[in-house]
Structure 1
Amino acid sequence: MIAGFLPIWLLTAVGYVTGRTRILGDQGEIVLGRFVFHVAMPAALFATLSTTSLDRFSGWAIVTFGAGTTLTCLLGFAASRWVFGRGLSDQAISGMAAGYVNSANLGIPVALQLLGNTSFIVSVMLFQVLMVTPIVLTIIDGGSRIRDFLLLPARNPIIIACVLGVVASGHVPQQVLAPCRLLGAAAVPTALITLGMSLRGRTPEPGPRSRGELAVAVALKIVVQPCVAFVLGRYAIHLSRTDLLAVVTCSALPTAQNAFIYAREYGLRTELVRNTIVASSVLSMGSLLLTTSLLSTHH
């Protein structure tokens, strides 16, 4: 478990030191963020989707996870709108911060450690990439103007990569996949470095509203999402013990750094997302251990 979390903490710390020492200059965070959003992350998504069978994107387990994630994101969206009075784009990113799990660089090692395999975490990745991400980016990028909404798929590199990956699934030559994988491997560490750099010298938003938003987002991510997944899986859909453990464990993962990259790219309030990622990455280790311990003795 610690081995899975350690790279996140260390790379974020490296980013913080990099920002404090100004090794990359005043524009380093901006440049790295754009590199992740426009180059590395699209390459990683294309390589993943073009080599993953969409047959994984089925079954009652992923339906349960998807329902729990959707409900949690909607709760984060609603709280941002009606409790904290944020605008539409910030509402979308708040919902993402509350329910978008770190399924790649953390989900895989956690799945191997607690579940013994990565079969379900791949389904989680597909759900988030093909369903959650396009909806959130559509609200952020094109929700206010019809023309922008219609042109969104043609100018958003994340959506372009997802569409191309699905269309070309199973038909991409190794000569194309190899450089995409190599480039995509830079997405996660660079995103974490960027996240760490954003922690440098930022003045927190004053007032209790900011602290309240963070508390709500972290509670939704660490407590509500796995609890909703358990209730749905155990009492509504009646999943097997193994599937229930997989669904709840994946639901208890912390917020993914993708949410921060999207917020930074679109000029939204990054403080909430950044702090939710950091706090949930610290607290979720205890949540995961408690969850798996309880579920292991549930039957």
Structure 2
Amino acid sequence: MEALVAAFAPIWVLTAVGWLAGRTGLLGAQAEAVLGRFVFHVSMPAALFTVVARTDLAGFANTSMLAFAAGTLAATALGLAASRRLFGRKPAEQVVGALAAGYVNSGNLGIPVAAQVLGDASFVAPVLLFQVLLVTPVMLAVLDARTGASAADRPGDRVRRLALLPVRNPVILGAGLGAVFSAAGWHLPGALAHAVDLLGGAAVPTALVTLGLSLHTPPGEAAERPGRAETAVAVLLKTLVQPLAALAFGALVLDLPRPQLLAVVLLSALPTAQNVYVYARLYGAAPALARSSVLVSTVLSMGTLSGIAWALGGR
């Protein structure tokens, strides 16, 4: 339990720093918007490029990833359906509901959790690739189409907009370039690689500070608050349904060995990534739902991750 607390502590500290900065007005009225754009357009692409470029793409073709993908598919599909059927969300907001239910915090939380519980952080690499190279482009493409296209657009315009998405969207561009470098075995020159590392290193702390800033509403402004039921559904899907679906598929269909099964289920139970809030904020699609899902699922996952490690024989 102490190891999990140590892994979660930076998340809470940096989020609290953001809240204090917002409450005191230290960074100004536009800080949340400016920092959010910095993460999305500059720092996060650099971080994704670095991670993917240094990861062997062969790790993507991992049998146990089928179980993780099954859990992700189940949670995101149910999250999408709940946003549409139960809560009447608009199409772009439905995408955020799906991400809140099934997009795990595999980077800044998955790596320390895997290292502490599994004894090997390399288990996280296929999950990162799956989310960065498959889930993120698909979801951002839908978000872009729903928020950027108008009813007057001709079919050709929409196809062209979708085709140019990797160039227009810095997150997809960064991940895509990283995949090219990984596949070709290329490396950036030393000084440039160090600069990209520094820039990418700012992504996680800045995103968490931005999340903290969003928790403070200036006097006179009405805060958008998702219904408790909607947050509860998203968090339930994220912390319980996704790992249970991965467990069922991994154990009953793939008959995974216990160590692989533990890794898949543990990583499936990670809380909603703060990236979901960054995407929701930039596209103006249900940012309050994303924010509350990140915070609540992070709190609850301390208990669920500990339970999984105990039940499936973690270290």
**1:97-154: per-residue Cα shift (whole Å, max 9, x none)?**
1110000111111001110001211111110000110011000002453342222112
**Residue 199 (structure 2) aligned to one of 179, 183, 198:** 183
Cα distance in 1 between the residues matched to 2:284 and 2:223: 16
Q: 2:277 maps to which residue? A: 260
Check conservation: 1:142, 1:152, Cα contact below 8 A. no
Q: Does 1:249 align with 2:262?
A: no
Aligned residue number for residue 34 of structure 1: 37
Tell whether the 8 Å contact from 2:62 to 2:126 is kept in structure 1 after alignment. Answer: no
Which residue of 1 is the match for residue 152 of structure 2? none
Tell me what 1:236 maps to.
Answer: 253
Q: 2:247 and 2:16 mapped to 1: Cα distance? A: 34
> Root-mean-square deviation (CA), in Å?
1.4
1:131 aligned to 2:134?
yes
Structure 2 unaligned regions, length at least 5: 150-157
Q: Which amino acid is the alignment partner of residue 203 of structure 2?
A: A
Whether 1:104 aligns to 2:107 is yes
Aligned residues: 295
**Does structure 2 conserve the Cα–Cα contact (< 8 Å) formed by 1:218 and 1:280?**
yes
Q: What's the secondary structure of 1:9's corresponding residue? A: helix
Rounded to whole Å, the distance in 2 between the matches of 1:100 and 1:176 is 31
Q: 2:202 corresponds to which letter in structure 1?
A: A
TM-superposed CA distance for 1:231, in Å, is 0.6
Q: Give the corresponding residue for 2:242.
A: 225
Which shifted more, 24-33 or 150-159? Answer: 150-159
Alignment deviations for residues 140-171 of structure 1 (CA, whole Å, 9 cap, x no partner): 00245334222211200011111111112230
- 1:203, 1:15 → 2: CA distance? 19
Residue aligning to 1:72: 75
Query: Post-superposition shift, 1:266?
Result: 0.8
Matched, 1:24 2:24: no
Residue in structure 2 matched with residue 83 of structure 1 by the alignment? 86
Query: Could you tell me which residue of structure 1 aligns to residue 154 of structure 2?
Result: none
- Answering whether residue 166 of structure 2 is matched by residue 153 of structure 1, we say yes
Counterpart Cα distance in 1 of 2:254 and 2:127: 18
Between the two proteins, what is the percent identity of the paired residues?
52
Question: What amino acid maps onto 2:286 in structure 1?
Answer: R
What is the CA-CA distance between 1:203 and the residue it aligns to?
A: 4.5
Partner of 1:193: 209
Q: Structure 1 266/45 Cα, relative in aligned 2: closer, same or farther at 3 Å?
A: same
Amino acid at match of 2:273: A
Separation in structure 2 between the aligned mates of residue 120 and residue 203 of structure 1, nearest angstrom: 43
Flag structure 1 segments of 5+ consecutive residues without an equivalent: none
Give the deviation of 1:284 after TM superposition: 0.2
Q: For the residues of structure 2 that align with 1:191 and 1:121, how far apart are their CA atoms?
A: 20
| C-alpha deviation, 1:86, in angstroms | 0.8
CA contact (8 A) 2:76 2:102 kept: yes
Determine helix, strand or coil for the equivalent of 2:177.
helix
Partner of 1:172: 187
Distance 1:203 1:253 in 2: 31
Partner of 2:304: 287
Quote the residue 2:153 is aligned against. none
Query: Residues of 2 paired with 1:46 and 1:67: CA distance?
Result: 26
Deviations 1:173-208 (A, max 9, x none): 3333211111100000000000000000274546xx
Matched, 1:13 2:16: yes
Q: Does 1:142 align with 2:109?
A: no
Distance 2:53 2:224 in 1: 41
Which stretch shifts more, 166-175 or 192-201?
166-175
